[in-house]
Chains A and B, each alone.
Chain A
Amino acid sequence: MSAPRVETRVEPRVEPRAEPRAEPLVEIHNLAKSYVRGEQIVPVLSDITLDIQEGDFTALMGPSGSGKTTLLNLVAGIDKPDCGTLRVGGLDITTLTESQLADWRASNVGFIFQFYNLMPVLTAYENVELPLMLTGLGRSERRERVEMTLSVVGLADRMKHYPNELSGGQQQRVAIARAVITDPRLIVADEPTGDLDRSSAADILAMMQRLNTELGKTIIMVTHDGQSARAAKAIIHLEKGEIIGNVEPASA
């Protein structure tokens, strides 16, 4: 397993980057985000600086309210920071309009959620096909891709099943197929094993590791479970909206 390649300015324990490397996939600089709760402004993230290289599998850990999901949402382009720069694949996504951001997400980001977030009225096949509706692909090309992807996640025989006819693990595998169907560079996963039993969780994590190692997908995963975080190549700890350090998964 390769060494973690995550840097942070605020944490002295992290070694500064020693030599020039390829441009990171995700570059975050002085990022801050706060929410307004009633009349109060609650800071969620402050002064985050972080690089994530292409091909990394990074786990974001921290207690509730530490800002890990907010950081994930910002990187995935479904939330906007108050200040700072956020470049993904060399593009500053904070400058994009809402429609541009939607198009960018459609082709660059795959989402995996804790509760799978499948459309209950669509079959496994149709759920996986959904992101392809935003591409110019024809029906036969879509069919080919969906069938292949569902086979890869081991659900070739469950294509016509609706989510409520599938187990939690199977639903999450459909969600993984949906996340990778458009071949995005970045996959974000928010507690992907949070709703699963240990055995299903292990399957899902193994599948994500395969996506990372075999297909080279960059994955950022939010988890509060140390065991799940060990599947990642790097773990970033957040607390009270700040990065307090990163560790090798082996010592997590």
Chain B
Amino acid sequence: MAIPLSYIARNLWTRRLTTALTAGGLALVVFVFATVLMLDAGLKQTMVTTGEYDNVVAIRKGADTEIQSGITRVQAAVIESHPSVALGTDARRLASKETVVLISLRKLGTAKPSNVVIRGISPHGLELRPQVKIAGGRRFASGSSEIIVGSSIAKGFEGTRIGSTLRFAQRDWTVVGIFDAGRSGFDSEIWGDADQLMQAFRRIVYSSVIVRLADGSDFERFRADVDADPRLTNELKREQIFYGDQSRALSTFINILGLTLTAVFSIGATIGAMITMYASVANRVAEIGTLRALGFRRGNVLAAFLIESLLLGLVGGVIGLALASLMQFASFSTTNFQTFAELAFRFTLTPGIAAATLAFSMAMGLLGGFLPAAGAARMNIVDSLRAA
């Protein structure tokens, strides 16, 4: 049997100020690490929940986003009438021909302008997004200059309250409702009637066509037909994949920046853990000698100090994770590099992130503790006992 855990844990407790300071250093790194992962997870979750599995987005070939895309009315009609497209309760195709334009609105508090997506949708547009619910006011009326705003827009931008008027495209638009899109990317958009918006912005082509598949497994056939049709220069993507792809550049940026910062900080925290563990070993030279004299092997001493450094890492990890979990209550908004539009999302803590964070923290502790523990295990018994 090895050196008892109570001996290891109580040594950490005995030096609780040093332990707390070292664990605090580890916790800060863990906090940065966890929030980066949470930010990325939140971004991905937002973009994935923006899409419905059975929905298909058609855009112009070569375009990555709806902003860059253009679909003529003829092309839209061909896509909409494909037999794979489901029928709505009104016996018409479940499709929404949409136009997407960016406008600049002032942010609340800072008065800084930021790009916001204006989406013109067809009558089926809301039905195609079941996660979108009217949270206040009502739907816009077709053929009118009415708009509804996403919940993140309502919270973050000037002039977006129900009854307010926004002026863009040389028209005044009345806000008649606020919609909650279940923390998806649509929460950062403003929706109105597609035909009205196209007129106002003098557009003659749609940006995208969204359709619901009658049978989700029909996607490949649908795509093959569209590819083979000489009239169509369009590309089909499942809606979830389409939005997931749109978060890739931002996700990569967050990961590279965040993980680089974490890597640099972690060197400092690991060295901190190492200094603490060296001090721990230096303070207990006589104890190490005594344990060895009593018959504990080098391996037992090595294990005891490694477990101590793991525990130190675990304490730092738990504190850092607890701090990071508070970030779930905060939301974050930034410009999505691919759409150039404001996107609000939350820090999302998943069990995987919690596990990765604790493992990272314990790894820092272990790495910091390895050399001191190896040094403790290598000590000569007689020399150690002289330190008493």
Q: Residues of A with Cβ closer than 8 Å to B?
A: 73, 76, 78-79, 98-99, 102-107, 111, 113-115, 117, 119-122, 126, 130-131, 133-134, 178
Contact = CB atoms under 8 A, between A and B. Distances in A.
B292 interface: yes
B10 A122 contact: yes
Interface in B269-327: 286-287, 289-298
B297 A99 contact: yes
Given A113-B290, A114-B388, A119-B7, A102 B297 contact: yes
A113 B293 CA distance: 11
Given A117-B287, A126-B4, A134-B1, A102 B292 contact: yes
B267 interface: no
Contacts of A120: 14, 287
Contacts of B290: 111, 113, 117, 119
Contacts of A131: 294-295
Q: In terms of DSSP, what is the predominant structure of the interface of chain B? A: helix
Of A76, A105, A119, most B-chain CB atoms within 10 Å:
A119
Interface string B377-388: 000011001001
Given A120-B14, A121-B14, A122-B10, A111 B4 contact: no
Given A73-B382, A102-B297, A134-B294, 16 more contacts: A76-B293, A78-B293, A79-B382, A103-B295, A111-B290, A113-B388, A115-B388, A117-B385, A119-B7, A121-B10, A121-B13, A122-B4, A126-B4, A133-B1, A133-B3, A178-B294
B68 interface: no
A250 B3 CA distance: 44
Contact of A126 (B6, B293, B296): B6
B264 interface: no
B11 interface: yes
Contacts of A106: 294-296
Contacts of A122: 4, 6-7, 10
A114 B388 CA distance: 9
A111 B385 CA distance: 12
B111 interface: no
Contact of B296 (A76, A102, A178): A102
Nearest to A110: B294
A176 to B, nearest CB: 14
Nearest to A175: B290
Nearest to A106: B295
B330 interface: no
A98 B301 CA distance: 14
A106 B3 CA distance: 13
Given A113-B290, A117-B388, A119-B7, A79 B1 contact: no
B2 interface: yes
A130 B294 contact: yes
Nearest to A107: B295
Interface of B: 1-4, 6-7, 10-11, 13-14, 286-287, 289-298, 381-382, 385, 388
B295 A134 contact: yes
Contacts of B296: 102, 106, 134
A105 B293 CA distance: 7
28 contacts: A76-B293, A78-B293, A98-B297, A99-B297, A99-B298, A102-B292, A102-B295, A102-B298, A105-B294, A105-B295, A106-B294, A106-B295, A106-B296, A107-B295, A113-B290, A113-B385, A113-B388, A114-B388, A115-B286, A115-B388, A117-B287, A119-B290, A120-B287, A126-B4, A130-B4, A133-B2, A133-B4, A134-B295
B207 to A, nearest CB: 69
B179 to A, nearest CB: 60
A242 B146 CA distance: 108
Given A117-B287, A117-B388, A122-B10, A78 B381 contact: yes
A207 B381 CA distance: 27
Contacts of A121: 7, 10-11, 13-14
Contacts of A102: 292, 295-298
The 9 closest A-B pairs by CB, nearest first: A106-B295, A121-B10, A117-B290, A78-B381, A115-B388, A133-B1, A105-B295, A102-B297, A134-B295
A250 B4 CA distance: 45
B8 to A, nearest CB: 9
B313 to A, nearest CB: 20
A73 B10 CA distance: 30
Contacts of A78: 292-293, 381-382, 385
Contacts of B3: 133
B80 to A, nearest CB: 75
Contacts of A107: 295
A119 B292 CA distance: 13
Contacts of B293: 76, 78, 105, 111
A130 B304 CA distance: 14
B287 A119 contact: yes
A48 to B, nearest CB: 17
A126 B294 CA distance: 14
B7 to A, nearest CB: 6
Nearest to A122: B7
A133 B2 CA distance: 7
Contacts of A111: 290, 293-294
B307 to A, nearest CB: 14
Contacts of B13: 121
Of A98, A102, A115, A120, most B-chain CB atoms within 10 Å:
A102
Nearest to A101: B295
B94 to A, nearest CB: 69
A45 B89 CA distance: 103
Contacts of A119: 7, 287, 290
A103 B295 CA distance: 6
B40 to A, nearest CB: 42
